């Protein structure tokens, strides 16, 4: 049965390509077919996962090779897939959340004339994402990696008539390409060092290679992970990516694709275990992004961008956990899954709010929506409780474990993660207050209403998952389940009992909530965004996304543009100028040489006589001498 795991990918891929090729006649059924393909993949995924559960722990990794993808010279790559404990969890997350979002999109995109194409792209995304997690070779993983990048590009720019959307799509792709640079070089290095890029072979052989190789590989893969997961320094594309339709933001830019970087690090655990330096780099990247994302989340008034900042921050948590080594891998994946539930839930909730508010994303124009959108409010509320880490909701368990492990590694890393938890509570409370509580600040002609059932049911399902997702930790199930993949973890004893730490974390969260409640209930929220000059320097920096775009602009974009302009000039005047210069000199020479051509017969005749005379004289001279 596991030999058929390629069907997981093939079903949505076939559906996606089919929908693209199918003309206008497909418009009536396109969305249903797309949703059916995703559901089918989900059902098959559940069947496979159940089969995996039924096996004993030693045999829970099932590989299959479809065909030889590339065999040239000494380079050999098989199109092979592996369904194991880790990829199994991902398959369920991707197809499960993916299917819910497909269903939601039926309602959300109902009035879009290009809905069929939207579903085609979503299907292609699901297929690529599954290829990414199932791949048993880094190059096959790279195929899925770029596939999701393409789907992301197409979906961010789905509303192509908007200049901002197509610019955001391009930016996402190009920034991701910078990350791909790391991936590509990493795979080349594997090939040069080990003669293969098979994931299991490389991670198994890494201990035999020098430490420099492991560190270099780790850093290159981290660069790739930073691009895809919007980690500092390649974070700038994610906030712009919110130009895409909201279900896209939920599926791709919150629940699944952006977590691919975390998956990559966990999947490459052999490499990261072998290099302390690479792991430290992962921790630093995670910690910086965690705080930067939270900071941005505090300052944004656009509901999707606030959530995007939060996504950055939460993925920072996962990265941080992944950088902690075997102790953290399982918790990184655990947080990834719970985050997938509650963040998808909240993004879809935000989409539902926008649906009722004429697609306005400005939170300052919301307020008091709880009575008008009760289902959205309730489900969003559960997501909110989950993300800030209120027991017993899912986020509490996963975040608590990460902070605990971080303290086990290093006090300051733990403090950073703890601070992040407080800020998370602050910005999420702010978002809740501005959107659902507080007084109405609606624009004219806005009549908020609850979304249709096809949109609220996925919300309910995701809210339920956000509420109970913590059961995965019950009896340390997830750590034990993943142990064959991630390796055994040494347990660190903390200086204080775990329960005390949990209480401290909860206290910090309460402080964050209280601070937000204090600041945003104290006085009415302005319906217009206060000018930059009237807000604190922290808020201003947050609004400008910590000047990441300005930095990129100054360091990369503008120099490249100048270089390009210079080279265009140089090519015309320098390289081609040299060639045309040679041609011009030749022309000048012939202009000079044609002067004697007067056209008078006698001058030619005289020249001929002169020539003959010279020849005769020369002959005479030779014969006489």
- For the segment 182-241, give every residue that binds another protein (CB under 8 A): 184-185, 187-189, 191-196, 198-205, 208-209, 213
Tokens in use for 380?
Answer: 């969003």
Q: How far is the CB of 75 from another protein (least distance, A)?
A: 4
Contact status: 166 vs another protein (CB under 8 A): yes
Q: Indicate which single residue of 167, 378, 390, 504 sits in contact with another protein (rule: CB under 8 A).
A: 167
- 399 in Cβ contact with 493 (< 8 Å): no
CA–CA–CA angle 472, 124, 166 (5° rounding):
110
Site for another protein in 337-376 (CB under 8 A): none
Contact status: 549 vs another protein (CB under 8 A): no
DSSP string for residues in 221-286: HHHHHHHHTT-TTS-HHHHHGGGS-HHHHHIIIIISGGGHHHHHHHHTHHHHHT-HHHHHHHHHHH
Contact status: 592 vs another protein (CB under 8 A): no
Contact status: 11 vs another protein (CB under 8 A): no
User: β-strand 75-83 against 62-72: which pairing, if any?
Assistant: antiparallel
- Using alpha carbons only, how large is the chain's radius of gyration in Å? 31
Q: How far is the CB of 444 from another protein (least distance, A)?
A: 26
CA–CA–CA angle 565, 567, 569 (5° rounding):
70
- 218 in Cβ contact with 277 (< 8 Å): yes
Nearer to another protein (CB atom), residue 18 or residue 381: 18
Which phi and psi angles does 546 have, rounded to 5°? Answer: 55, 30
Look at residues 318, 312, 301 and name the one whose alpha carbon lies nearest to residue 362.
Answer: 301
Nearer to another protein (CB atom), residue 84 or residue 400: 84
Contact status: 69 vs another protein (CB under 8 A): yes
Helix axes 374-388, 394-409, angle to 10 degrees: 20
Q: How far is the CB of 105 from another protein (least distance, A)?
A: 20
Q: How far is the CB of 600 from another protein (least distance, A)?
A: 6
Alpha carbon distance 282, 611 (integer Å): 86
Nearer to another protein (CB atom), residue 139 or residue 423: 139
Q: How far is the CB of 398 from another protein (least distance, A)?
A: 22
Contact status: 585 vs another protein (CB under 8 A): no
Which x/- pattern, by CB under 8 A, does the window 269-288 give for another protein?
xx------------------
Contact status: 32 vs another protein (CB under 8 A): no
- Half-sphere exposure of residue 92, counting CA atoms within 13 Å on the CB side? 17
Contact status: 475 vs another protein (CB under 8 A): no
Nearer to another protein (CB atom), residue 153 or residue 407: 153
Site for another protein in 73-102 (CB under 8 A): 73-75, 79-80, 82, 84-86
Tokens in use for 286?
Answer: 């995670």
Nearer to another protein (CB atom), residue 534 or residue 564: 564
Look at residues 382, 239, 390, 406 and name the one whose alpha carbon lies nearest to residue 317.
Answer: 406
> Which residues fall within 8 angstroms of residue 37, CB to CB, at 6 or more apart?
11, 12, 14, 15, 16, 123, 126
Query: What number of chain residues touch another protein (CB under 8 A)?
Result: 94
Q: How far is the CB of 157 from another protein (least distance, A)?
A: 7
Q: Indicate which single residue of 16, 52, 100, 146 sits in contact with another protein (rule: CB under 8 A).
A: 146
Q: How far is the CB of 126 from another protein (least distance, A)?
A: 15
- Which stretches within 109-205 are classed as H helix? 115-134, 138-156, 163-194, 199-205
Contact status: 157 vs another protein (CB under 8 A): yes
Contact status: 10 vs another protein (CB under 8 A): no
């Amino acid at each position: 049965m596991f030999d058929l795991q390629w069907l997981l990918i093939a079903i949505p891929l076939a559906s996606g390509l089919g929908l693209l090729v199918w003309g206008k006649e497909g418009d009536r059924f396109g969305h249903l077919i797309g949703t059916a393909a995703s559901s089918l993949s989900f059902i098959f995924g559940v069947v496979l996962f159940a089969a995996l559960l039924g096996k004993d722990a030693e045999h829970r990794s099932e590989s299959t090779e479809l065909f030889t993808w590339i065999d040239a010279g000494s380079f050999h790559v098989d199109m092979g897939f592996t369904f194991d404990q880790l990829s199994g969890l991902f398959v369920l997350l991707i197809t499960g959340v993916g299917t819910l979002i497909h269903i939601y999109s039926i309602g959300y995109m109902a009035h879009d004339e290009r809905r069929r194409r939207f579903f085609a792209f979503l299907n292609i995304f699901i297929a690529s994402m599954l290829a990414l997690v199932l791949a048993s070779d880094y190059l096959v993983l790279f195929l899925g990696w770029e596939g999701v990048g393409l789907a992301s590009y197409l979906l961010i720019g789905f509303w192509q008539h908007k200049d901002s959307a197509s610019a955001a799509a391009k930016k996402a792709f190009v920034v991701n390409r910078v990350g791909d640079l790391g991936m590509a070089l990493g795979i080349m290095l594997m090939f040069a060092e080990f003669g293969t890029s098979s994931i299991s072979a490389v991670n198994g052989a890494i201990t035999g290679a020098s430490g420099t190789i492991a560190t270099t590989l780790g850093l290159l893969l981290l660069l790739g992970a930073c691009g895809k997961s919007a980690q500092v320094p390649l974070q700038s594309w994610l906030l712009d990516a919110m130009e895409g339709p909201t279900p896209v933001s939920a599926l791709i830019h919150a629940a699944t694709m952006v977590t691919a970087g975390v998956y990559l690090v966990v999947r490459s655990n052999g490499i990261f275990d072998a290099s302390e330096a690479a792991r430290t780099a992962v921790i630093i990247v995670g910690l910086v992004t965690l705080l930067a994302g939270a900071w941005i989340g505090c300052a944004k008034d656009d509901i999707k961008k606030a959530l995007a900042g939060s996504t950055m921050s939460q993925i920072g948590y996962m990265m941080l956990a992944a950088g902690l080594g075997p102790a953290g891998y399982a918790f990184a994946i655990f947080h990834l899954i719970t985050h997938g539930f509650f963040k998808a839930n909240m993004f879809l909730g935000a989409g539902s709010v926008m649906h009722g508010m004429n697609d306005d994303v400005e939170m300052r124009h919301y307020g008091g929506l709880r009575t008008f959108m009760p289902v959205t409010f309730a489900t969003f509320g559960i997501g909110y409780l989950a993300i800030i880490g209120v027991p017993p909701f899912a986020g509490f368990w996963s975040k608590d474990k990460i902070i605990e492990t971080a303290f086990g590694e290093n006090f300051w890393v733990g403090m950073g993660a703890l601070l992040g938890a407080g800020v998370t509570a602050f910005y999420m409370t702010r978002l809740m207050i501005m959107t659902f509580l507080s007084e109405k600040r609606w624009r004219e002609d806005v009549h908020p209403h609850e979304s249709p059932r096809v949109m609220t049911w996925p919300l309910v399902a995701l809210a339920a998952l956000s509420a109970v997702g913590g059961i995965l930790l019950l009896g340390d199930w997830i750590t034990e389940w993943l142990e064959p993949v991630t390796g055994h973890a040494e347990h660190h004893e903390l200086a204080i009992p775990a329960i005390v730490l949990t209480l401290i974390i909860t206290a910090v969260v309460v402080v964050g909530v209280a601070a937000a409640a204090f600041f945003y209930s104290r006085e009415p929220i302005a319906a217009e965004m206060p000018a930059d000059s009237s807000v604190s320097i922290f808020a201003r920096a947050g609004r400008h996304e910590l000047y990441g775009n300005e930095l990129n602009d100054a360091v990369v974009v503008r120099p490249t543009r100048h270089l390009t302009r210079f080279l265009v000039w140089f090519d015309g005047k320098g390289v081609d100028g040299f060639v045309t210069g040679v041609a011009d000199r030749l022309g000048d020479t012939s202009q000079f040489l044609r002067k004697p051509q007067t056209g008078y017969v006698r001058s030619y005749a005289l020249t001929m006589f002169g020539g003959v005379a010279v020849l005769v004289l020369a002959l005479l001279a030779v014969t006489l001498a």
